[in-house]
Amino acid sequence: MTHDTALSLLAEHSRGAAWARHCHAVADSALRLGHALGAVIQPIDHDFLRSAALLHDIGRHVTHDPVGHGVEGYHVLTRLGHGREAHVCAAHVLFGLEASDAERLGLPACDFIPRTVEERLVTLVDLLVENETPTTLNRRFSSLHKRNAGNSFFLSRLDGAQERAEAFMLEISEAIGGSVEDMLATQDDSPKPCHTGPRKR
């Protein structure tokens, strides 16, 4: 998918809604993190990373349900023939859905797990951007708990999602030699040192 196609699909389905600005913010931050990561470990498919980030929430034109929007996005992009980006719509929910949950939600009975580095970057960065503003995982998950207090399906799986997000963020921080959260918060592409053990006094 080209960048222009992704932008066109987002504009068509969002019709200027505020959630589209979140998608743009996620795409910008995912690209910055992708460039930092690609410089030290492996090549990154920046075109796919950008298109998947732009469209990860396209299902919000149907519903803002924290799970349902991923399902709707999957269906929309699958019908349009964009299978890779469709997978990210479903897989970014809760940092991945197992086959039993996917089938229950109306998806094909298979795992929707972010596996490639690009898929995992979109999923992580989505959690590090609240609306259009960089945040921390702790603040974001606290917000998700509060905003979805009545959604037992979502809440029962939220702690597992946080564990997966934290594990991947630590992996990325170690690879780039600095804090992912600080890099995105400061809009500075040079990573700041992260401390994974006790600080020296």
User: Which residues partner with 179 through β-bridges?
Assistant: 192
Instruction: Measure CA 82 to chain center.
Output: 17
Number of domains in the chain: 1
Q: 190 vs 98, 125, 151, 186, CA distance in Å?
A: 36, 17, 39, 10
Residue 193 lies in a domain: no
Residue 141 lies in a domain: yes
Span 110-144, pLDDT tens digits: 999 999 999 999 999 999 999 999 999 999 999 99
pTM of this prediction exceeds 0.75: yes
Handedness of CA 175, 140, 70, 12 (dihedral sign): negative
% the chain with pLDDT above 70: 93
Report the CATH number at residue 98: 1.10.3210
Span 141-160, pLDDT tens digits: 999 999 999 999 999 999 99
Expressed as residue numbers, the domain containing 48 is 3-186
Span 64-90, pLDDT tens digits: 999 999 999 999 999 999 999 999 999
Distance CA(47)–CA(85), nearest Å, equals 11
Residue 121 lies in a domain: yes
Q: 100 vs 4, 13, 97, CA distance in Å?
A: 35, 29, 8
Residue 201 lies in a domain: no
Distance CA(80)–CA(167), nearest Å, equals 33
Question: What letter does residue 67 receive in the DSSP assignment?
Answer: T
- Give the pLDDT confidence score for residue 186 in this predicted structure: 86
- Give the pLDDT confidence score for residue 195 in this predicted structure: 40
Span 174-199, pLDDT tens digits: 999 999 999 999 865 544 444 444 33
Residue 170 lies in a domain: yes
